A and B are shown apart, each in its own frame.
Chain A
């Protein structure tokens, strides 16, 4: 064995991950710690059994590796630009107007590059040595319209590079990348992008650094600007269902944009986007970009609570007649006002309305007004409705809460089960594995290969028809039909059993109400209320669970939104109830 010669070989052992190689008599590499003999030996054998060829084989191996790792010179922000581009394209195929990509998102991104001093400014942040930055030199760089040009420009350069690589000794025409490559090999901290290392180290006050989750914030801001019919929860659901690139978005980078080392930390994502988290990022980015007041959200906009309420009433199979009540609540609470709804990042307290959560909260409040949801009245009212429906089979049926509950419970449980299974089956790892340093490369690729081959083997055991078929994107998750008893549609059912005439107008038979939160938290802990499930009635828990599953949000955030609506609705009573311990109170329309 020859330990000296084996020093050139720096890849990790695939068995025990150590870098400690010896050479066997046959010229194979073996790991001195676990005695594993590498695959590299195969190459040696293939090239011939003569001992002298082994050195050649090794050098060829190393060269081939370098060729794989070197691609175009690219910057981290270009990577994000790529992701945004893919996302915008995906939104376009979902039916969003082309202006979103070409004008709005493009402008937001330009503004971001400018604000973060990466481009469109006198002194871009790029460090002195690389001042000749691609960003400024290349006029087409951030121009969305000329994306194809950008690509062709890149491929031109790659021609040049592949030319140099094909020369056996690789005379260094481009000093920067080559020196960087050798440097990186010694330091073992490196990146495929030019500024990956610096980027991950950069911490500048007042600058919002780009991350993959923030790309979604950009998407949502553009959607909001365009007043598109996609809510934040829809957007995140589309991400989860794979209609919008997010996890492993780097997979679809052009072949020559190599990612490794620090790029892994920047572009690899191992979690689904969470509503609250992205919501915060949206406000953060909007403030950072110093965006002006967004276009008004008026009554004819999709995001207006009246329309969203209608949509969600349909989604959860509640009677259309309830829309009157939701509109009234919206009016009384003032959450339908343009000023309330429109996002204004430069306002003193920048905050945007969670349109979807709010609309759903209004529906919860209306359900509470109608049925009280105290595990008692709703069932009494259901009995009345059931009797009426039995007697009057020809008439428009009264809404029966119990029947609705049974249908919904079954559908939601089914859906949830499917959703959980789909989540458990989700494949996170990209086809292009990312590795930290070049010595990890072989191990990572080997691991990938292993997983793929195991998966291949087991996929033969699975039925040919995949159980989780890819859903086509839809803003509706449920589908109700008249006639099918499992999916009975309640849209046409009436509320006569629950309302009574009082003079000209109708009022609810139920005159009681209870508040979801009696006392709001006034300290600085950011949350205004907490949600301890067991303190609430089972019906309320069911409703909250149903809606929060629909929006993929935490139950506590929906509960909070309900409480906030109630706070607006019972403003006067709130000041009084401070003294009262019981918060049940009468309420009439």
Chain B
């Protein structure tokens, strides 16, 4: 359930961004808790015991939820409902949302709860206070989806889509878009199921035509539903992906490109690595020129230098004719290996070993030194300790060899990692180690004479 609420927080306006900032980094967010603390702090008058009860009740519920004591949580919830009758209108108005969040969480997990209970609760909560109707409808639909009740979810979304509250509906446009988009996503699901069916049919078959006609209908409805949402700034990965898939299927490459370019480059959208990945994959499928692919990955490199596409990026750069691309290629490799998650990536080490030799042979010692200067303080401990040498040798001898070569080039013959590996006596690798020794002697950037 928590995933649902996260998705709901995002599309909101600036006011909410502040709030989510507060919690970024903790990995957990209780926006309503913050609100709650706020109201407690401002109370100048002596708090009535009624408020004390509801506050205490809320913290008991939170505690129970954290400990997964659904039974207890439900017990306290029973008392917490009275906050809907609070004489303080601020609290009363904030209450439905809190109740919905707590209550749906409880009903999601409680052993005695079932879809019916959840439905009753959701329907009741939708009609308490105007502002929550859409949010609750959406989360209700997500709950139904989770339980595989696609049709009910779809019905729910259609219902929510048509709901209007006069002035209040305009402020919730994003939510309506989101609801429509989810509806679109459901339609996409049916479409892609149909697509699968279609692929099993013979083109000459009688059924083929009706089926493809059916698909076409679906895709049209879907695009209408998805379109509005992905114009609005936000992170809409699943929606964009399915939308693009449909566009591509019907041959609208330009439309797909436009959507993806907009999603990746529009400054109003939050920075999103996936947007660039989608665009890159699309362009790759389209066999776009290398230059273009490089420019897309350059941005991804700035956002996620450790992404697995970076090795592909390196290959592209290596193949490029431009000199600064070659330099960037080296940077990218070093960048990838800065991350603890990539330390055992043999491809990265292989590339680096190879590329270092290539660069040094090409008389670009300065490039290597530039990269190495900022890392020479910590890479030896991070990658090239004797602990790592032993471990790598034990686990993956090929990796150890590549690393030894890099270590030798960067740190010289005296480095522990290199020394450990070069001392190893392995029948299969004897030749390779000999080669490494030779390469190191030839290319090492550390001058042993000095």
Contacts and interface: CB of A to CB of B under 8 A. Distances in A.
B57 interface: yes
A63 interface: no
Given A424-B57, A462-B74, A455 B81 contact: yes
Nearest to A461: B74
Given A424-B76, A461-B106, A35 B53 contact: no
B129 A454 contact: no
A79 B107 CA distance: 43
A467 B166 CA distance: 46
Chain A interface, DSSP helix/strand/loop, else mixed:
loop
A32 B124 CA distance: 23
A460 B113 CA distance: 9
A458 B57 CA distance: 15
B265 interface: no
Interface stretch (B32-40, B44-52, B255-263, B422-430): B44-52
Interface string A441-457: 00010011011011101
B100 to A, nearest CB: 11
B210 interface: no
B75 A467 contact: yes
Nearest to A274: B49
A463 B78 contact: no
Contact of A420 (B56, B99, B117, B130): B56
Interface in B63-120: 70-71, 74-79, 81-82, 84-85, 87, 99, 103, 106-107, 110, 112-113, 117, 120
B85 A461 contact: no
Interface residues of B, number: 40
Contacts of A458: 74, 77-78, 81, 103, 106
A448 B86 CA distance: 11
Given A34-B166, A270-B48, A271-B49, A451 B82 contact: yes
B145 interface: no
A426 B53 CA distance: 7
B434 interface: no
| Listed residue (A420, A447, A448) with the most chain B CB atoms within 10 angstroms of its CB | A447
B166 A35 contact: yes
Contacts of B71: 461-463
A92 interface: no
B13 to A, nearest CB: 20
| Listed residue (A427, A428, A461, A463) with the most chain B CB atoms within 10 angstroms of its CB | A461
A270 B46 CA distance: 12
A451 B54 CA distance: 14
A109 to B, nearest CB: 27
Interface string A411-442: 00000000011011111110001000000000
A467 B64 CA distance: 15
Contacts of B48: 270-271
A459 B80 CA distance: 12
A16 B121 CA distance: 21
A272 interface: yes
A433 B82 CA distance: 12
Contacts of A467: 75
Contacts of B166: 32-35
Nearest to B80: A424
Interface of B: 48-50, 52-53, 56-57, 60, 70-71, 74-79, 81-82, 84-85, 87, 99, 103, 106-107, 110, 112-113, 117, 120-121, 124, 128-130, 164-168
